Amino acid sequence: MNEIIKFIEKTPKAELHLHIEGTLEPELMFKLAKRNNIKIPFKNINDVKSAYNFSNLESFLNIFYQGSNVLIKEEDFFDLTWAYTLKCKKDNVVHTEIFFDPQTHVNRGIHFEVIINGIYKALVKANKEFGLTSKIIMCFLRHLDEKSAFGILDQALVHKDKIIAVGLDSSELNNPPRKFERVFKKAIQNNFLTVAHAGEEGPPEYIWEALNLLKVKRIDHGVQCLQDKKLVKKLLDDQIPLTVCPLSNIKLCVFKKLQDHNLKKLLNNGLMVMVNSDDPAYFGGYINKNLIECQAALDLSKEDIKKLIINSFKSSFLTEREKKVWIEKI
């Protein structure tokens, strides 16, 4: 094992772009389907894995929503989240900020409390047992309408003590950030921080909208920013974080192969970029695998890796003091 791989594995990391529903491994999917007597369109685990050949974001989301159907009870959301925290422990992720998509579940008749309580209790247990710190970010599904987003925001207000921020995810193309400007304004008025997926498949204009209209603190993905020099300057000057997910980008055909990924260009431009796993059960790798494969494909130096990891803490919603403690250990 070379020195850089050892460095990646032993160094404490923060993960800022992780969809908890996207950590549903095939084995757990079958276990929950059996427990809840839910029919899924797969005969066995290999059947599931063979379905994970995606042509774009939309083709992935179709499978993603099918998988989420097995999540019914609080214990299901607990088991899902707990399994992810064990992956964090294995990969030396010491802080994570996870997304969840309540509309996916509420629209199936699952109560908001069931979802948030299951996720939250698992994170509390992980903190007690091995010190993992965490934040929860609620995402609005951008393929649904503004009314639906307002409805889920109202439900989230009761759980403000558990949710630090709101985000925007799902099908990006033809669902620009401006569609949710009023929703984000209300979220900000209620003291939620804001982030948004933009510039994954969508144009740089979507990143501008997320910054100017949604007033986001971070851009999730953002890899299309290099098409717009003014945008790059804005991102650089304001050090706006880009939570990049390399293996996800390959799996969803944003780039043909990892060697084509623009991560190193983003880094070399001085942008506040870091590596995350997105939906690792579907995209073939948690955070260490993302870093290790990027290092090999893009010839990243140890200093590059160190910078990416430091950026993950700098861009987190931890306090400045908490950030400093971890950065000094890298």
Query: How many other CB atoms sit within 10 Å of the CB of residue 22?
Result: 23
Residue 286: phi and psi, rounded to 5, are -85, -170
pLDDT at residue 297 greater than cutoff 60: yes
CA distances from 163 to 193, 241, 323 (A): 9, 20, 20
The C-alpha R_g of the chain, in whole angstroms, comes to: 19
Q: Which helix (H) or strand (E) holds 135?
A: strand 133-141
DSSP state of 284: T
Share of the chain above pLDDT 90, in %: 91
pLDDT at residue 198 greater than cutoff 90: yes
pLDDT at residue 181 greater than cutoff 90: yes
Per-residue pLDDT, 183: 98
Per-residue pLDDT, 58: 84
pLDDT band at 57 (very low <50, low <70, confident <90, very high): confident
Q: Please return the burial class of 166, using the count of CB atoms within 10 Å of its CB with bins 0-12, 13-18 and 19+.
A: buried
Per-residue pLDDT, 154: 98
Handedness of CA 85, 89, 93, 95 (dihedral sign): positive
Per the listing, tokens 């717009």 go with: 228
Yes or no: is domain 3-23+75-322 CATH 1.10.3720.10? no
> β-strands 165-169, 242-244: how paired?
unpaired
> β-strands 93-100, 218-221: how paired?
unpaired
pLDDT at residue 176 greater than cutoff 90: yes
pLDDT digits (tens, 9 = 90+) for 77-99: 999 999 999 999 999 999 999 99
> β-strands 242-244, 273-275: how paired?
parallel
The tokens for 127 are: 């903190």
CA distances from 124 to 85, 128, 133 (A): 10, 6, 8
Q: Structure pTM? A: 0.97
Residue 156: phi and psi, rounded to 5, are -70, -25
Enumerate the active-site residues.
Answer: 200
pLDDT band at 1 (very low <50, low <70, confident <90, very high): low
Going from N- to C-terminal start, the domains of the chain cover 3-23+75-322
pLDDT at residue 52 greater than cutoff 90: no
pLDDT digits (tens, 9 = 90+) for 105-118: 999 999 999 999 99
What is the mean predicted confidence (pLDDT) over 167-193? Answer: 97
* CA 154 from centroid of its chain's CA atoms: 23
The tokens for 145 are: 């309408």
